[in-house]
Amino acid sequence: MNNELKSYFKLHFIVLIWGFTAILGLLIVIPPVEVVLFRTLIATVLLGSILLIRKRNFAIGRMEILKIIGTGFVIAAHWLLFFSAARVSTASVCLAGIATCSFWTSLIEPLVTKRKVKIYEVILGVVVISGLYIIFSFEFQYALGIVMAIASAMLASVFTVFNGIFTHRHSPYIITFYEMLGAFLGTVLFIPIYITYFSSAPLSLFPSGTDWFYLLILAGICTVYAFSASVQIQQVLSAFVVNLTVNLEPVYGIILAFLIFGEKEEMSPGFYMGTFVILLSVLSYPLINKMAKRKALQSDMIR
């Protein structure tokens, strides 16, 4: 099995783990801001400890550190919107909105990396949007959750594109450490705004024992492992492939949510129709990409 294929299978395992994050966000009782605060704090401490034990060098240059920490601010905003979307709608609706990642990446990646826009990537992204439109038309009562999830997906595509650049210069684990530190700092800076404009209740800084258990899973498995591994995978796979595969997150997550929450997560037939359209886009990409590469190679040989 070649390295690209192994990375593709590993990516699907990571996406399965991420499909569980919205469920954890609902199982945890404390509000979304506190969830992100503790998630990023625990992840920073865990990953920092691992890197210290392994005697890794944290010095990568001041400007690089600032860039990666700045990306962490984007990650914090993504998670705040993600968990808030799940709270105001359902885990399934939130995960379906995240499926727009590929559409945003097809627009953002060419702007950042200066590569040529691939028409088929844009078309597949539009197919994903059409699937989301079907979902939206049948589940309009969750409009706020869908909009928040779409905004979260756009931010996810931004930091994934930048990670594709960083991973060619630095260790995935060093990148993840500084990004989690940045996400923690970004959340801390957001708290005064949150208290002033969005919440009248005091911060929940003392989670229950059950919340701590779920937070440790969220930070340890869904963040330290899955996030670091996803960054490492981008040494092999492009940001678009990563984000297109992340479209399977709602499929995995919806199945898990139904198994855990039962009828509470049962949606209309239109929701599942839209999800099928999204899945069709994901499964089509490897075949279309292979055909495009073969056609380009044949054109080069003719020249």
Q: CA angle, corner 132, sides to 160 and 84, nearest 5? A: 65
pLDDT digits (tens, 9 = 90+) for 98-121: 777 777 877 788 888 777 777 777
Structure tokens at 175: 């990148």
pTM of the full structure: 0.81
Distances (CA, A) of 214 to 14, 173, 207, 209, 290: 18, 23, 10, 9, 40
pLDDT (tens digit per residue) in 246-262: 767 777 877 787 777 76
Residues 190-236 pLDDT 10s: 999 999 888 877 888 888 999 999 999 999 898 888 877 877 787 78
Note the Cα 79 to chain centre separation in Å: 8
